[in-house]
Structure 1
């Protein structure tokens, strides 16, 4: 069994990658997270774009652990806010990871924006780094619009206000399997599948 490090402590992200690999029939790979390896200093996310942050995280993880590593950086780009919060999505309200405060701030900022101008995209870049070997960076986008109030309890971050194109439900109202098939992270991770399949041998 080959170990593959997903550089996250987010159990939902780990579950998503495990489900995608299983659905694709990729066997012989054990996906582990940062909680499963000795702690190492993680560089702050200072790149101006998702690609730079994902690659820096994957390189750090591969170098520190000697394991092939995947890292992602993701966020929401809101049309009416000129593509912001973008890389600042997790700390838009000023405090990192306060989902409710971030949601409330965005809803407040969009209060006067009419429904037809509430377009947005979830963006995810994923980087796959093999120690001493190649580096691959891919990007997935998921377009939709922003609702005026949160709905649903599946998911995290901005999921409760994001209504994907072609849907009436929010991302947080979708079943995990539905979300895997559609989401920005699912799209980015599936773009890595040829590399992961070759890696699994």
Structure 2
């Protein structure tokens, strides 16, 4: 029941916005957003919290260049001390006749990672040793949608799967993760439209 109420409250504002006379999605559109994102490591029973932001430029109405940054905030089990990530890539936007903008993308990236020698699972008396900090290559697929409520802001839902491995002087740690983020973003078009 609570889940249904949350879904209704999230999507109800979409029906309150009147449609713009023209589509917002076009060549020259710049959109940016910042939010808190959550991820679930696939090989470990851990949840990660990130402060995340992205910047995207529409090269064409259906193709965009995008960069994302993830600042690591929290990890329940403490197998990772640091896990900051940076991605850059492209997205393909599925054409619609309104301001709903579904997309799919691919982004290679890099992570600045540091791990503990073993997860701390209730044994606080064991001294935690940190590995050396290292750079780990990543690959990521992203899928989601934007809803442009006006020419200045949009709502978004963003899902991502990340694959990579932290290699250190301790045991290797899998960085394979599924993430979700959502919220309010801002946008504007840097190109003047022809009359």
- What TM-score range do you get, normalising by the shorter chain? under 0.3
Q: Under a length normalisation based on structure 2, what TM-score does the superposition of the two structures give?
A: 0.27
| Higher share in helix | 1
The structure with more strand, counted as a fraction of residues:
2
Per chain length, whose mean CA-contact separation is higher, i.e. which structure has more relative contact order (CA < 8 Å, sep 6+)? 2
Q: Highest CA radius of gyration, 1 or 2?
A: 2
